[in-house]
Chain A
Amino acid sequence: MVTALLVLAVVALFALPLLIDGGSDYAGTDSQATELIEESDPGYEPWFSSVFSPGSAEVESGLFALQAALGGGVLGYVLGRLRGRRTAGKAAEEAGGS
C-alpha cells in the first residue's frame, strides 16, 4: 500500500510538469548551461571536443537506453537474488523445524 503510494508520487512528480505546460521543449539543463556560456562569454572557444560522439540523435538515445538497461539489469538481478535468498532461507527453516 505504502509502496503503491510512493510509486504513484514519483510518477506524478514527473508527469505533472508535462501536463501543466505542454508548450515547453524540456531542453536539458546541461545544454542550457552551454548556451549560457556562449551567450555571456562569446569569446570563449571550447578547446577540446569529444573523442567520440554518436552520429545521430537516434543512436545517442539508444546508447542512453543501453546505459539504463545495464544499470536496471544489474539492480534487478541483485534484488531478485536477495529476495530469493530470503525465501530459500525461510523454506529451509520451515523444512528443518518440522
Chain B
Amino acid sequence: MHIAEGFLPPAHAIGWTIAATPFVVHGARAVVKEVRENPESTLLLGAAGAFTFVLSAIKLPSVTGSSSHPTGTGLGAVLFRPPVMALLGTVVLLFQALLLAHGGLTTLGANAFSMAVVGPWAGYGAYQLTRRLGGGLLGGVFAGMAIADLATYVTTALQLAWAHPDAESGFLGAAVKFLGVFAVTQVPLAIGEGLLGVLLFRVLTVNARPELERLGVLTPEPDDPREVSRDQVREVSRDQVREVSRARAPDEPPRSER
C-alpha cells in the first residue's frame, strides 16, 4: 500500500497531507493522554506499535503470485480505539519512507490516510459490529484485524485510480486495475493477519486481563473471588457502567419521585 515517492501529482500529495494531518495530531494527543492518565497502558501501547512495526516489515506471498505486507493496525484500534493508530501507523510509514525508500515523504499523507486512518477505523467498525452481532471477542478481533488490513489496500487502490485515471475508462477502469493488484492479493494476507490477532489476544486475555477489562475489551467477571479495590472500581469504563446499569434496571423497583 506504499505509494512510491513522487508518484502522486503535487495537488494530490498536498491534498492527502492536509487530510491526514488532523487525524495524526489528534492521534498524538490521544497517545499522550492515554500514557499520562493510564501509565499502565504504556506496555500495551508499545505492543500495538510494535505489532504494526513487525507486520509492515514482512512481505508475504499470496496466491495471486505477488507479495504484499500486512498492516497490523487493527490490534491498536481494537485495544485503544483508532486515533492512537493514526500516530503509530504514521511513525512506521515515516521510518520506511526515510530509511527504506519505501513509500515517500510526498506520499506520506496519502499512505498515512489509508494505513493509519481508514484501516484502523474500518477495522474498529468491523470489530464493534461483530461483537454486537454476538461474534465474541476473538471473532471481533479476527474481523477487526482482517478488515483493517483489507480496507487499507482498497483505499490505496482508489487513491491511485483518482490520481492516475485510465485514458479510456477513466477512474472506474483504473480503480478496477489497481484493486486487481492490491485488493485481491491482500485477501489471504488479511485472513492471516486476523488469525495472528486471535493468537495474540488469546495470550493477552490470560496475561493482561486487568488492562483489557479497563479498556473495555473484556468485561470483568462478576464472580471474581478477588476483592475489588476502590481504584479498580473507578477504572471501570463508562460504557461498562452503562451496560451494567442497563442490565440491572429491570430488577430494580421503579423509583418514585424524590
Chain A interface residues toward B at CB < 8 A: 2-3, 6-7, 9-10, 13-14, 16-18, 20-21, 24, 26-34, 36-37, 40-41, 44, 46-54, 60, 63-65, 67-68, 70-75, 77-79, 81-83, 85-86
B35 contacts partner chain A, Cβ-Cβ < 8 Å: no
Smallest beta-carbon distance A65→chain B, Å: 8
B90 contacts partner chain A, Cβ-Cβ < 8 Å: no
Of the stretches B52-60, B126-134, B232-240, B244-252, the one at the interface is B52-60
CB contacts (< 8 Å) of A40 on chain B: these are 164, 166-167, 174, 177
Known A13-B195, A17-B61: A78·B43 in contact at CB below 8 Å: yes
The reply to whether A50 and B178 contact each other, CB–CB distance below 8 Å, is: no
The reply to whether B5 and A44 contact each other, CB–CB distance below 8 Å, is: no
B7 contacts partner chain A, Cβ-Cβ < 8 Å: yes
B206 contacts partner chain A, Cβ-Cβ < 8 Å: yes
CB contacts (< 8 Å) of A3 on chain B: these are 199, 202
CB contacts (< 8 Å) of A46 on chain B: these are 4-7
Main secondary structure of the interface of A (DSSP, over half): helix
Contact of B61 among A18, A34, A71 (CB under 8 A): A18
Main secondary structure of the interface of B (DSSP, over half): helix
Smallest beta-carbon distance B201→chain A, Å: 11
B21 contacts partner chain A, Cβ-Cβ < 8 Å: no
CB contacts (< 8 Å) of A31 on chain B: these are 4
Known A14-B60, A26-B67: A74·B5 in contact at CB below 8 Å: no
What is the CA–CA distance of A72 and B51 in the complex, to the nearest angstrom? Answer: 7
Contact with A along B205-220 (1 / 0, CB 8 A): 0111000000000000
B185 contacts partner chain A, Cβ-Cβ < 8 Å: yes
The reply to whether A67 and B57 contact each other, CB–CB distance below 8 Å, is: yes
B49 contacts partner chain A, Cβ-Cβ < 8 Å: yes
CB contacts (< 8 Å) of A65 on chain B: these are 57
Smallest beta-carbon distance A38→chain B, Å: 9
| Size bracket, chain B contacts | 35 or more
B45 to A, closest residue via Cβ: A78
Interfacial residues of chain B within 24-65, with CB under 8 A of chain A in the complex: 43-44, 46-47, 49-63, 65
The reply to whether B7 and A34 contact each other, CB–CB distance below 8 Å, is: yes
What is the CA–CA distance of A34 and B177 in the complex, to the nearest angstrom? Answer: 12
Smallest beta-carbon distance A28→chain B, Å: 6
Smallest beta-carbon distance A31→chain B, Å: 8
The reply to whether B47 and A33 contact each other, CB–CB distance below 8 Å, is: no
The reply to whether B192 and A78 contact each other, CB–CB distance below 8 Å, is: no
Contact of B101 among A16, A53, A81 (CB under 8 A): A53
CB contacts (< 8 Å) of A50 on chain B: these are 5, 97, 101, 104
